[in-house]
Amino acid sequence: MITVVGNLKGGCGKSTISFNLAVWLATAGIDVVTFDLDPQATLSDVAEVRAEEEILPEIKVFRPESNPTKMMKNHDGEMIIDVGAANLWAMRQAIAMADRVLVPIPPSQADVWSTARFKDIVEETVATKEKQPEIVMFVNRADTHPGVRESAETLEALHTLKGVRVLDTRIHQRTAYRRSFSEGRAVFEQSKTSKASIEFLELAKQLYPDVNF
Ligand SMILES: Nc1ncnc2c1ncn2[C@@H]1O[C@H](COP(=O)(O)OP(=O)(O)OP(=O)(O)O)[C@@H](O)[C@H]1O
Ligand SMILES: [Mg+2]
């Protein structure tokens, strides 16, 4: 299955989520490859740190020069594709081949607006396709303070968008995501029982219900 992780705005967590999902799948014994189609190459960088630290399982990351469309057609296992708006052409190419598009959204009005635009781009890109990819949205970087309303408001706004699946699992803004990432580790490799780990494992299970982790 091809999962494209995308959104228009920078910093919504595409690379963090792509990396953590790839490690989760690989740890579960699934044959997974990732494509880093963003010129910033964050996913490639984190995989390099992981390789330097000799952390297993290794995460395979392919860059645009590796002819991703051909590889996507030929790989049987799971594929996770990190796309950024900096390369709109690559983003559209990947979306055109996707089985699903996973959209992390920080809780703010500006992010809701740009996400609606991104949804339009996805729909335009696949308009002539026989099989449409599923569009799955979830809130990332939610505030951990219960008094802050933005996450609930963002979720409400996302629920009004037509033709998307909105996950109720939220990923919160937690230092564990940043810290583990900078060490080349998935958040659940640092601690299996941290809040970050528990919520990420729930997200992964929702996205891949058939995988035994
Ligand atoms: N849930 C989270 N909690 C805390 N920090 C997070 C979380 N998700 C992402 N971050 C941090 O936010 C920053 C942006 O995340 P990331 O690089 O994954 O986003 P991106 O969408 O790939 O950004 P870009 O558009 O620049 O490629 C990083 O410093 C990352 O560590
Ligand atoms: Mg990125």
- Considering only CA atoms, which residue is closest to atom 29 of ligand 1? 178
Residue nearest to atom 25 of ligand 1 (CA): 10
pLDDT of residue 68: 79
Residue (of 45, 102, 90) closest to 66 by Cα position:
90
- pLDDT score for 69: 82
- Angle at which helices 195-207 and 14-27 pack, to 10 degrees? 80
Name the maximum alpha-carbon separation found in the chain. 48
Ligand nearest to the CA of 43: 2
Q: Is the pLDDT of residue 11 over 90?
A: yes
One CATH from 3.30.930.10, 3.50.50.60, 3.30.300.30, 3.40.50.300 for 2-204: 3.40.50.300
| pLDDT tens, residue by residue, 148-171 | 999 999 999 999 999 999 999 999
The tens digit of pLDDT for each residue in 84-96 reads 989 999 999 999 9
> pLDDT value at position 129?
93
Identify the nearest ligand to the CA of 16 by its number.
1
First to last CA, the chain: 17
Q: What is the mean pLDDT of the chain?
A: 95
* Ligand 1 atom 10 nearest Cα: 13
pLDDT of residue 147: 87
Query: Average of pLDDT values for 27-46?
Result: 96
pLDDT at 187: 98
* CA R_g for the chain: 16
Question: Is residue 113 pLDDT above 90, yes or no?
Answer: yes
Q: What are phi and psi of 128, to 5 degrees?
A: -95, 5
pLDDT exceeds 90 at position 67: no
Alpha helical stretches, state H, 75-208: 88-97, 109-125, 150-159, 175-182, 187-190, 195-207
> From ligand 2's centre to the CA of 17, what distance in Å?
9
Average pLDDT over residues 116-134: 96
Q: How far is CA 179 from CA 112, 151, 184, 187, 190, in A?
A: 27, 23, 9, 8, 9
pTM for the model? 0.97
CA of 62 to the centre of ligand 2 (A): 14
**Pocket lined around ligand 1, Cβ cut-off 6 Å:** 10-16, 38, 40, 42, 84, 140-141, 171, 173-174, 177-178, 181
13 CA distance to ligand 2 middle (Å): 7
